[in-house]
Structure 1
Amino acid sequence: MNKIESLSDLFQMVGCDVTYYDLGRHITKISPQQAIQFDRKQQAYPFPFRQHAWLACLLKDSQTASKSLLENGVIWFLKLPLDEAGCLNLGTRDHFIKSIVDKILHKGEAQGLSEALEDSPYAFKPDQERMASFHAILGKQLNTSTSSFFDSVIDYLKSPLEDNPEQWQELGIQGIAELAARANEPTYTPLIIKAIQQANPAVISALCHALEHETLPNSIQDVLIQQLEENQDPFLQASFIRALSRNSLDNRLLLPLFGLLGSLVECQDEDTHSIAALAAKCPHWLASNPQLLRIIMEKLAHRQDGYIAFKQITAELSQHPETRQPLWTLLRSQHISSQLAQAVNHIFTQTPGNLH
């Protein structure tokens, strides 16, 4: 057996073609060149999220036509830790590879591959929304048929929503995700706009969470910015931010964002919804606008939670290639508040907890 020194070597050994997607911050197809570079530690992992690489590996037999991938292929969901430089932790990666090789040697390739991730510490299961969006994006790229849930969503949005106020409860997440995957198609853009403006809040939230994986046309951006200005529900405000997160920071967003973030010296629990959305989904916005970054860090430093939220978000932003330098420039500044300076001094004294 040839020496296996990378994930690519592993898949080549078993005769599989592999296509990688990142499922961390957003769902993003990884180019073959990017895959080679991070797999062999030539470059940092391009889409770090919570100090891990969240990978969907689509495996198919080298002789299988791509159109039958969903029926005959295998999808692995892998969560691999990153080192301080943002590269794959090679020790962990090699341990994972060895565990797969051992299973194949004992059970044969077919059974070994199908059972490869059973009880594996490196496997993860995407949540329902993320799985629905992944299948919607994958299905659109492979030009497969939409689900029956999609038809139900379209029928719902084409009808007068006020006539059937409870009909939204019958909609499936998969159909909403399939609609979001078609945000740039002229046939469906008006229906998405109608949903954002008129649908039940639960539908709006689910749609926004699916839209976060798309680069949106101007017409949808416009209505989301308008809703962010007018809607006072903190959960929906965070959803609107998430929906816009794949796009660059629009200057029209600054006023509503500064408005909803409010005072530098107060951070109520309802404020954390938008802060979490900005830090988790929009680090490129924070990197491009130091004032927005400063407001978030000041507010977190003023929370009475033992700096738990502050430490968690600092750890996340310091791992992101775009925000690492702006963050540490801010935290080392002589012009920050005493409360933020104190938070910086305590940054490594406790283990970060979870921000809900």
Structure 2
Amino acid sequence: MSAENALPQSLTELLRSTGAALRVFDMGRRIGKLSLDQFRRIEDSELPYPSPFQHLAWVALLIWNPKRKDENAVWFLRLPLDEQGLVAPAARDDILKRLIQNVVNSKSGQLDEDALKDNPYSFTPEQDRMAAFHALAAREMKAAASAHYERAQAWMHGQLPVDEWPTLAYQGLADLVMRLDQDGNTDALVNRLGDMPAPVLENLCPLLENVQPSPRLQQALTDLLRQALSSDDSNRVAALARALSNIADEPAKQDWVMEVLNSHHATRAEVITVIATRCESALLEPRVLQSFLEQLAQGEAGQTGFSRILAELMFMPVHRALILQAFRQNERSPQLEQAIGEMFGQSFTAPTSH
């Protein structure tokens, strides 16, 4: 066996060869767990990445020494995907080569954050997503929440006056959302929604997209969304749509997405973008997809927004097939027909199905 063949052939293999323990998280459309077997198959290009975003797989690898659990590192990597949503082997091999070289060259010889130095595939999550990741990772590691959790919990449970909301740390809210099934937090949140100041709700909603709300919380958020639809506050509509985007009840999701699409908020860029990037499963229903395409074609995002959003959705094979099918519908509006023509060229004809 040559020395080259003896080198690890995947990230999973590299980490196991050092005795490190590993947890993998999806950091793309929302933050969630990936099983080690799932990630190994993704790495080996056996399995398409389940939730590609911007044609990339966004992952966080939480690495630690089982003998010293307080010593951990996190690698944030974005892996290029091919047209089938599979990890590009050349990119994976390049990442491995860079990591191995940096570990060899590092003073510690450890798989720490320094291993990603000058790595073009690494990224730093935005602050709000980093807070959500830390909250989920702490829970997964059975570690304590941050020092900010206690105050966020006290405020949510009504043990502090409502007007003390500016003293809440975003990390504390993230910890609370990731522990909604603990300490009566869901009931406290539902009870607090009625008098919750708008800035707190707007901070909570992007966090809520990373969890599946209980039926009671789902209903409370849906009621708030319906109230917001009759207002002129499109930012609130977009925020609440994010909060509800991860519900398990697909028919219910399709229903409220249709309500949003039938409202005057549907043509606003922030609203249609949330539906495209967070509620993509609802678009698997043809009636929802048709309404979405019509509003997208008439929206304030213009032709550039239409083309970019559809290019992102069509990267997912099932969505691509359904969108091309929807393009063949005879009852499409002149605006949608024009937008399709602009995107694909005026001579575009959707291929017939076989």
Could you tell me the percent identity over the aligned residues? 28
Aligned AA for 1:83? D
Q: Are the counterparts in 1 of residues 209 and 243 from structure 2 also a CA contact under 8 Å? A: yes
Structure 1's 128 and 260: CA in aligned 2 closer, same or farther, altered over 3 A?
same
Describe the SS at the equivalent of 1:143. Answer: coil
Q: Give the structure 1 partner of residue 348 of structure 2.
A: none
CA distance in 1: counterparts of 2:342 and 2:74, whole angstroms: 42
Counterpart residue identity of residue 278, structure 1? I
Highest relative contact order (Cα 8 Å, sep 6+), 1 or 2?
A: 1
1:31 and 2:35 matched: yes
Q: TM-score, normalised by structure 2?
A: 0.87
- Corresponding residue number in structure 2 for 1:97: 96
Give the secondary structure class of the aligned counterpart of 1:48.
coil
1:132 is matched with: 131
Deviation of residue 151 (structure 1)? 1.3
Question: Which deviates more, 319-328 or 212-221?
Answer: 319-328
Mapped partners of 1:198, 1:140: distance in 2: 28
Amino acid at match of 2:215: N
- Count of aligned residue pairs for this structure pair: 338
Quick one: distance in 2 between partners of 1:152 and 1:304? 41
Q: Distance in 2 between matches of 1:145 and 1:237?
A: 33
**Mean alpha-carbon deviation: is it higher for 318-327 or for 227-236?**
318-327
Q: What is the CA-CA distance between 1:342 and the residue it aligns to?
A: 2.2
Amino acid of the residue matched to residue 236 of structure 1? Answer: R
Deviation at 1:252, TM superposition (A): 4.9
Within 1, Cα distance between the matches of 2:224 and 2:135? 26
The normalised TM-score by structure 1 is 0.87
**AA partner of residue 115 (structure 1):** D
Moved more, 319-328 or 92-101: 319-328
- Which residue number in structure 1 is paired with residue 87 of structure 2? 88
**Counterparts in 2 of 1:1-356, with a 5 A limit?**
1=3, 2-61=6-65, 63-64=66-67, 68=69, 71-107=70-106, 110=109, 113-159=112-158, 164-165=162-163, 167-185=164-182, 187-231=184-228, 232=231, 233-249=233-249, 251-252=251-252, 256-262=256-262, 268=267, 271-287=268-284, 289-303=285-299, 306-348=302-344
* Aligned equivalents of 2:175, 2:342: Cα separation in 1: 45
SS in 1 for 2:343: coil
Structure 1 residues 242 and 260: CA distance shift in structure 2, 3 A: same
Q: Does the CA contact (< 8 Å) of 1:146 and 1:178 recur in 2?
A: yes
Cα distance, 1:95 vs structure 2 = 1.2
> Are 2:28 and 2:53, in contact at CA under 8 Å, matched by a contact in 1?
yes
Quick check: 1:248–1:285 contact (8 Å CA) kept in 2?
no
- Contact 2:30–2:209 at 8 Å: present in 1 too? yes
Alignment-mate amino acid for residue 286 of structure 1? L
- Could you tell me which runs of 5 or more consecutive residues in structure 1 were left unpaired when the two chains were aligned: 350-356
Letter matched to residue 100 of structure 1: L
Distance in 2 between residues matched to 1:5 and 1:153, nearest whole Å: 44
Counterpart amino acid of residue 37 in structure 2: Q
**1:25-84 superposed Cα distances (whole Å, 9 cap, x missing partner):** 1211111221121110111112211211110001123x436xx2xx20111000111111
Q: How well do the aligned residues superpose, as a CA RMSD in angstroms?
A: 2.4
CA distance in 2, matches of 1:108, 1:14: 16
Find the counterpart in structure 2 of residue 354 from structure 1: none
Specify the SS of the correspondent of 1:57: strand
Distance 2:80 2:192 in 1: 38
In structure 2, list runs of 5 or more residues that go unmatched.
346-354
- CA deviations 1:125-171 (Å, max 9, x no partner) are 1111111111111212222222221111122223377x552x21111
The residue type equivalent to 1:193 in the other structure is V
Output the amino acid matched with 1:134: F
Structure 2: distance between partners of 1:186 and 1:103 = 44
Does the Cα contact within 8 Å between 1:283 and 1:322 map onto a contact in 2? no
**Counterpart AA for 2:337:** A
Structure 1 residues 108 and 296: CA distance shift in structure 2, 3 A: same
Relative to structure 1, is the Cα distance of residues 274 and 306 closer, same or farther in structure 2, using a 3 angstrom cutoff?
closer
Partner Cα distance (1:327, 1:217) in 2: 32
